[in-house]
């Protein structure tokens, strides 16, 4: 068994770290966090570096990286700016949706623009009446002449206010009561139109990720705006779950690593009773626990990414990685915050932001309770939902 990372992964890590030191320092990240916005020019800059189009094949102008490279990039982004990592995952999933389900015309039109940072897309799935139980959605779409008319409401829709289009999961066809997954479609809906109203939500965590509420009041979309097969939208989304969960795990690996690095430096520099506080067991022991759990979640995440990159089933591993990494990030930021104490609560400290951002993990992109239900079922236990 070889645990050596490919050379290109090391080069990617170095490039991301140098980018933050050179172009995106903590003071600038704090400004974006307070403004709850990531400027469009930052996405264009990341596109120039080849990172926005990492999941886009070279034939469409992307970098053609696999999920193992995506995990590396996602972790490094999250170490410095978790909100940026969250939106990057969304953009990566956009590319995957077009690659797997788009027509040749859709791929040719959107993938090159996405890779250049010229096209941003949001996913409209969750609704006020259902998050985990997404199949109970009430958003509807009907054909009116040569276009779709979409009406409904979406909640917790990341990037919606900055997006050029929203990929809306809606009901286009009736379905039997025992087959609610049938009849749902993904429709690429232009964002800039009077019938689409977006309200930014002021979340405690991942503030710059642009989480929004979306109102669709007869929004229009071309007849050919369906992504994939009509009535099969839910099944198309299922194919992306393993990648989404693996990348979500990478975010919380990054947050945990950042919290540990910051706290170790603080423990080396901060003195009490004539010596660094890192000399005391009360400080060393929780940091040793964080370091141990960090290695565990990184291995889980890397394994899930490697399995998918090699065409192997990784549903269980991806779910475990997301579950473990999000819970470890909560514990790690709590332990590290206790060591930094008042300094960690100051907004100028990166720890204050890491502490907040970690709190999204246990219920996004899926609640850890539902992950446990899924894993229990894979163990051969009766379905619990």
Which stretches does DSSP call E strand in the chain? 121-124, 140-144, 147-158, 165-171, 184-190, 196-200, 211-222, 271-272, 275-276
Protein fold of 7-119:
Butyryl-Coa Dehydrogenase, subunit A; domain 1 (1.10.540)
Residue 347 in contact with residue 30, Cβ under 8 Å? yes
Report CA dihedral (115, 117, 119, 120) to the nearest 10 degrees: 110
> Can you tell me which residue has the tokens 């788009």?
102
Specify the pLDDT at position 281.
Answer: 97
Residue 255 in contact with residue 79, Cβ under 8 Å? yes
Specify the pLDDT at position 176.
Answer: 76
In tens digits, what is the pLDDT along the chain, a chain of 385 residues?
788 889 999 999 999 999 999 999 999 999 999 999 999 999 999 999 999 999 999 999 999 999 999 999 999 999 999 999 999 999 999 899 999 999 999 999 999 999 999 999 999 999 998 777 778 899 999 999 999 999 999 999 999 999 999 999 999 999 877 788 899 999 999 999 999 999 999 999 999 999 999 999 999 999 999 999 999 999 999 889 999 999 999 999 999 999 999 999 999 999 999 999 999 999 999 999 999 999 999 999 999 999 999 999 999 999 999 999 999 999 999 999 999 999 999 999 999 999 999 999 999 999 999 999 999 999 999 998 8
Residue 206 in contact with residue 365, Cβ under 8 Å? no
Residue 191 in contact with residue 179, Cβ under 8 Å? no
State how far the Cα of 243 lies from the Cα of 204, in Å rounded to an integer.
26
> What secondary structure letter does DSSP report for 200?
E
Residue 293 in contact with residue 259, Cβ under 8 Å? no
Count CB neighbours of 136 within 10 A.
11
State how far the Cα of 73 lies from the Cα of 67, in Å rounded to an integer.
10
* Phi, psi of 251, deg, nearest 5: -60, -45
The number of angstroms, rounded, from the C-alpha of 378 to the middle of its chain's C-alpha atoms is 24
CATH number of the domain located at residue range(s) 122-232 in this protein: 2.40.110.10
State how far the Cα of 249 lies from the Cα of 367, in Å rounded to an integer.
13
> What secondary structure letter does DSSP report for 208?
G
Buried/exposed 361-373: b ≥16 CB within 10 Å, e otherwise: bbebbbebebbeb
Alpha carbon separation from 320 to 66, 111, 237, 373, 378 (Å, rounded): 20, 31, 19, 11, 12
Specify the pLDDT at position 163.
Answer: 95
Common-topology check for domains 122-232 and 240-378: no
> What secondary structure letter does DSSP report for 193?
S
**Where are the domains positioned within the chain?**
7-119, 122-232, 240-378
**Is the dihedral angle over the CA atoms 22, 23, 25, 27 positive or is it negative?**
positive
Specify the pLDDT at position 56.
Answer: 95
> Can you tell me which residue has the tokens 């720890």?
351
Specify the pLDDT at position 3.
Answer: 85
State how far the Cα of 269 lies from the Cα of 271, in Å rounded to an integer.
6
Nearest alpha carbon to residue 100 among 69, 143, 56, 154: 56
CATH number of the domain located at residue range(s) 240-378 in this protein: 1.20.140.10
- DSSP-derived 3-state class of residue 165: strand
Specify the pLDDT at position 65.
Answer: 93
- DSSP-derived 3-state class of residue 205: coil
Count CB neighbours of 291 within 10 A.
14
Q: Residue 365: which residues within 8 A CB-CB, separation 6 or more?
A: 244, 245, 248
Residue 197 in contact with residue 189, Cβ under 8 Å? no
């Amino acid at each position: 068994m070889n645990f050596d990372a490919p050379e290109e992964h090391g080069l990617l890590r170095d490039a991301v770290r140098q980018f933050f030191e050179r172009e995106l320092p903590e003071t600038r990240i704090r400004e974006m966090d307070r403004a709850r916005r990531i400027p469009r020019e930052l996405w264009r800059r990341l596109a120039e570096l080849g990172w926005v189009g990492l999941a886009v094949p070279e034939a469409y102008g992307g970098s053609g990286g696999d999920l193992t490279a995506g995990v590396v990039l996602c972790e490094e982004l999250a170490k410095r700016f978790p909100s940026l990592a969250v939106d990057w995952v969304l953009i990566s999933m956009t590319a995957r949706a077009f690659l797997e389900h788009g027509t040749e015309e859709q791929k040719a039109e959107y993938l090159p623009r996405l890779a250049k940072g010229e096209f941003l897309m949001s996913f409209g799935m969750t609704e006020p009446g259902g998050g985990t139980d997404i199949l109970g959605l009430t958003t509807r779409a009907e054909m009116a002449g040569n276009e779709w008319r979409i009406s409904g409401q979406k909640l917790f829709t990341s990037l919606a206010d900055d997006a050029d289009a929203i990929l809306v999961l809606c009901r286009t066809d009736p379905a039997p009561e025992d087959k609610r997954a049938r009849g749902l479609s993904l429709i690429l809906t232009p964002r800039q139109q009077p019938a689409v109203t977006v309200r930014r939500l002021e979340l405690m965590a991942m503030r710059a990720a642009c989480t929004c509420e979306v109102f669709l009041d007869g929004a229009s979309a071309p007849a050919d705006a369906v992504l994939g097969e009509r009535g099969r939208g839910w099944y198309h989304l299922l194919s992306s779950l393993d990648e989404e969960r693996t990348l979500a795990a990478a975010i919380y690996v990054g947050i945990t690593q950042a919290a540990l690095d910051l706290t170790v430096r603080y423990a080396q520099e901060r003195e009490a009773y004539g010596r660094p506080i890192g000399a005391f067991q009360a400080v060393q022991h929780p940091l040793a626990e964080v370091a141990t759990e960090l290695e565990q979640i990184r291995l889980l995440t890397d394994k899930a990414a490697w399995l998918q990159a090699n065409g192997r089933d990784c549903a269980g591993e991806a779910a475990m990685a997301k579950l473990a990494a999000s819970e470890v990030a909560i514990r790690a930021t709590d332990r590290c915050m206790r060591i930094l104490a008042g300094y960690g609560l100051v907004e100028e400290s990166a720890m204050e932001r890491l502490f907040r951002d970690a709190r999204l993990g246990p219920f996004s992109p899926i609640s850890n309770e539902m992950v446990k239900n899924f894993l229990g079922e894979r163990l051969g236990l009766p379905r619990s939902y």
